[in-house]
Structure 1
Amino acid sequence: MLERLLSLFQTERKVTELPEADARHALGALLVRAAKVDRAYLFEEVEEIDNLLSHMYGLNKLEAAKMRAQCEKLEEAMPDTETLARVLHDAIPLAEREAAVRSLWSVVLADGSEQPEEGEFLHQIERTLGVSPKRAMHIHAAAAMEAGQL
């Protein structure tokens, strides 16, 4: 009887499943990691990730938020950034990898400032994705201009 009464007060938590580390989720996890690299996961960055996921994959706002939650779990479970970036490198062509770098910069710049550790992080990913330093510089400049930082 007591167990039955206690069960009425217990609520079930929805657990976000850990997604497969496919290219879509690997990019999402990298977007989350880019937002967290300065040790501040801000609303503007979360909103930018949701917008990017929605735009890239044709998701509505709720679907994008759910995908981001899955990507957050993947980001926590995969401590190696190189592995996440390698999934992208091996799965998508160079033009899409450059678009991924552009998306990463837009998340980093969403909070209105760029920290040195964010640049270092993005440059590491650019190298792993095979984006040339010259092309990466142009992508960074375009993202900064769009974010109003140039």
Structure 2
Amino acid sequence: MFDSLKSLFSSDAAEKPADETLSAQTATAALMVEAAMADGVFTQDEEARIRRLLASGFDLSAQEAGQELDRAKALADTAVDHHKFTRVVKNLPKDERLKVVEDLWCVILADDENTSEEDSLMRRLGPLLAITDRERGEARHRAQARQH
């Protein structure tokens, strides 16, 4: 029993350095996947939107954006919570964090639906990214304007 507990704690410790090396690009991509999956459905429109946002936001080729999306999906599938990703993104300058929040809204709105689960996710992420409710709302309005 103690050996299994030791291995559990040592495997947690082994994962810590990986968190520290998580790039802002990958953390942002993982948050985008989380936003797309918040309503329980990851649509092709949401996936395409994430690819475009990653390509334009991080100056990636279509292939690189696809690879980043694949990494983000794997990370999001195994993530216990959002803190692993928000800790990294929170270190970005405020204007970049606001852009991330706007992009998250763009992902949420990609399927032309907005659910209470998606709204709840964004309310939780705002404080974790040091974004006020007002700033989050303004980012949503900018994202809605980009949809039209």
**TM-score when normalising by structure 1:** 0.81
1:42-73 CA-partner distances (Å, limit 9, x unpaired): 00000000001100111111111111001111
Secondary structure, in 3 states, of the residue corresponding to 2:51? helix
How far did 1:143 drift?
A: 1.1
Runs of 4+ in 1 over 4 A off after TM superposition: none
Moved more, 111-120 or 76-85: 76-85
CA distance in 1, matches of 2:140, 2:78: 28
2:128 counterpart of 1:128: yes
1:98-109 matched pairs, under 5 angstroms: 98-109=98-109
CA-based RMSD of the aligned residues comes to: 1.6
Gaps of 5+ in 2: 1-17
Q: Which residue of 2 aligns with 1:77?
A: 78
CA distance in 2, matches of 1:110, 1:67: 19
What is the total number of aligned residue pairs between the two structures?
Answer: 130
CA distance in 2, matches of 1:83, 1:67: 17
How far did 1:83 drift?
A: 2.6
Q: Which residue of 2 aligns with 1:138?
A: 138
1:58-77 matched pairs, under 5 angstroms: 58-77=59-78
Q: Which residue of 1 aligns with 2:95?
A: 95
Gaps of 5+ in 1: 1-17
CA distance in 2, matches of 1:75, 1:21: 13
CA distance in 2, matches of 1:145, 1:71: 26
1:125-150 CA-partner distances (Å, limit 9, x unpaired): 111111111111111112123224xx
